[in-house]
């Protein structure tokens, strides 16, 4: 399992936007005056205000949403966060705990805004980003007081001090929030295996597990064998991965066929065939028989397709057995290499690669044959239906004539009685 940093370009863009917004707001506060607030309170509030506006402007834009709307949303949220920071760090006279609480809540608010509207698969990473931003906000706010005291002792310009401190706090929080982009990525083949095995049952489920175990042994053995050349190791890993990928694809096909065959509709085809055959023997009406024959033809086509699926499922399971055998052969070849049988290893590796290629061609031919069989079955079904329809239509004029011929006698009978 490896760690990846998701969308680094977006991270740099949002960090720059938050920092620039914090610097701009810090500069504006310094120019406008502190209104009696200490420098650290003014700089922290400015950082949250400007950083929130910058963060809002970097969020994905909705089709119906304009840029200025996002800016207003960020400004309102930032103003509330800034006022809360000033209140906790200055107005309420809570001392250092109040300063750290203000910074922590401000960092949490800004990180939440940065992560808004993101659909992150790994929620643990999102929580880690929020926790990191909260912690850095609290520590950064505590450091503002010392930095402001130092700047005052050096008679630094107020505007420069507030802009610098606000920019640093915004930068720290945005950078800490970027931790949500660090995500653990599972081996792609293992992810694929998890998805495939959800639809599998024994015996194929157990066979896939065996194949994954053999692949793991091959990977471990090639890593530990220092005598194996880089080219041989790369080729071995390549062939093992190809075999496992083919094994998963074959197992996926087997699972789909198994699901189709075991559906209630498919299981009912035999009962429907028996029912139609019984009804055909019981009726003498030509039109009814025509409809029943069309239904019988369609069900027979379904029966033929089901038989083809069963054959395909058996072939898929046989292919899985072949892939497992090739994986085991490759594992033994790696083991032979570790005991200095180099020539034998090269022969086995070439043989495995050749057999895997032939097996892949066979599976492609099998897929094409199944598709052709299904297409042929469809064509036959349509032809049978068309012939059945023509027969039924040909019988209708005769029946109409017979009904008309019988109708006067039925009408005359009552009049004679009367």
| pLDDT at site 293 | 76
Q: How confident is the model at residue 409 (pLDDT cuts 50, 70, 90)?
A: very low
Q: Which one is predicted more confidently, 222 or 139?
A: 139
Q: 33-39: long-range contacts (C-beta < 8 A, 24 or more apart)? A: 34/158, 34/162, 37/86, 37/90, 38/90, 38/145, 38/148, 39/144, 39/148, 39/151, 39/152, 39/158, 39/161, 39/162, 39/165
168-174 average pLDDT score: 93
Helices 8-32, 39-58: crossing angle, 10 deg rounding = 140
Q: State yes or no: pLDDT of 339 exceeds 70.
A: no
In the chain, domain spans: 2-185, 189-409
Whole-angstrom CA distances from 114 to 5, 55, 58, 267, 277 are: 16, 6, 8, 54, 69
Q: State yes or no: pLDDT of 161 exceeds 50.
A: yes
| pLDDT at site 361 | 63
Report how far residue 71's alpha carbon sits from residue 77's, in angstroms, rounded to the nearest whole number.
10
Residue tagged 């399971």 (tokens): 317
Q: State yes or no: pLDDT of 305 exceeds 80.
A: no
CA atoms within 13 A on the CB side of 49: 23
Q: Which one is predicted more confidently, 276 or 318?
A: 318
Q: State yes or no: pLDDT of 213 exceeds 70.
A: yes
Q: Which one is predicted more confidently, 148 or 353?
A: 148
| pLDDT at site 66 | 65
| pLDDT at site 400 | 40
| pLDDT at site 1 | 56
230-238 average pLDDT score: 81
Q: State yes or no: pLDDT of 206 exceeds 80.
A: yes
In contact, 172 and 44? CB cutoff 8 Å: no
Whole-angstrom CA distances from 403 to 286, 399, 406, 410, 413 are: 14, 6, 5, 10, 16
Query: Tens digit of pLDDT for each residue in 82-141?
Result: 889 888 888 888 888 998 999 999 999 998 888 876 655 667 888 888 999 999 999 999
| pLDDT at site 411 | 38
In contact, 131 and 178? CB cutoff 8 Å: no
Query: Tens digit of pLDDT for each residue in 6-56?
Result: 888 889 999 999 999 999 999 998 888 777 788 889 999 999 999 999 988
Report how far residue 13's alpha carbon sits from residue 15's, in angstroms, rounded to the nearest whole number.
6
Give me the torsion for CA of 237, 243, 244, 248, rounded to 10°: 160
Q: Quote the mean pLDDT of the chain.
A: 77
Q: How confident is the model at residue 62 (pLDDT cuts 50, 70, 90)?
A: low
């Amino acid at each position: 399992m490896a760690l990846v940093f998701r969308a680094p370009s977006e991270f740099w863009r949002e960090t720059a936007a938050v920092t620039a917004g914090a610097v701009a707001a810090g500069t504006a506060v310094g120019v406008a005056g502190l209104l009696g607030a200490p420098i650290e309170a003014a700089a922290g509030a400015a950082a949250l205000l400007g950083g929130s506006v910058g963060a809002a402007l970097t969020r994905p834009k909705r089709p119906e949403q304009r840029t200025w709307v996002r800016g207003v949303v960020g400004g309102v949220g930032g103003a509330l966060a800034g006022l809360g920071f000033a209140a906790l760090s200055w107005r309420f006279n809570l001392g250092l705990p109040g300063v750290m609480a203000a910074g922590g809540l401000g960092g949490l608010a800004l990180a939440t805004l940065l992560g808004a509207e993101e659909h992150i698969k790994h929620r643990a990473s999102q929580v880690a980003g929020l926790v990191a931003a909260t912690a850095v906000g609290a520590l950064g706010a505590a450091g503002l007081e010392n930095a402001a005291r130092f700047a005052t002792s050096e008679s630094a310009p107020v505007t420069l001090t507030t802009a610098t401190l606000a920019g640093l706090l915004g930068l720290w929080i945005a950078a800490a929030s970027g931790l949500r982009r660090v995500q653990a990525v599972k081996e792609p083949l293992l992810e694929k295996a998890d998805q495939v095995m959800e639809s599998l049952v024994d015996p194929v489920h157990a066979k896939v597990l065996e194949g994954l175990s053999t692949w793991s042994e091959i990977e471990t053995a090639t890593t530990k064998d220092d005598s194996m050349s880089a080219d041989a190791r790369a080729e071995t890993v390549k062939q093992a991965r190809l075999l496992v990928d083919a094994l998963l694809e074959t197992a996926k096909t087997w699972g789909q066929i198994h699901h189709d065959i075991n559906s209630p509709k498919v299981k009912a085809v035999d009962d429907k065939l028996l029912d139609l055959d019984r009804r055909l023997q019981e009726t003498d009406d030509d039109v009814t028989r025509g409809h029943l024959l069309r239904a019988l033809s369609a069900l027979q086509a379904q029966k033929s397709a089901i038989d083809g699926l069963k054959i395909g499922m058996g072939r898929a399971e046989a292919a899985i057995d072949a892939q497992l055998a090739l994986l085991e052969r490759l594992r033994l070849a790696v083991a032979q290499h570790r005991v200095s049988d180099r020539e034998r290893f090269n022969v086995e590796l070439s043989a495995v690669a050749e057999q895997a290629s032939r097996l892949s061609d066979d599976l492609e031919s099998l897929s094409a044959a199944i598709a052709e069989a299904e297409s042929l079955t469809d064509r036959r079904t349509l032809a049978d239906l068309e012939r059945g329809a023509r027969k039924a239509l040909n019988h209708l004029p005769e029946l109409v004539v017979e009904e008309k011929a019988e109708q006067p006698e039925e009408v005359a009978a009552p009049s004679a009685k009367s």
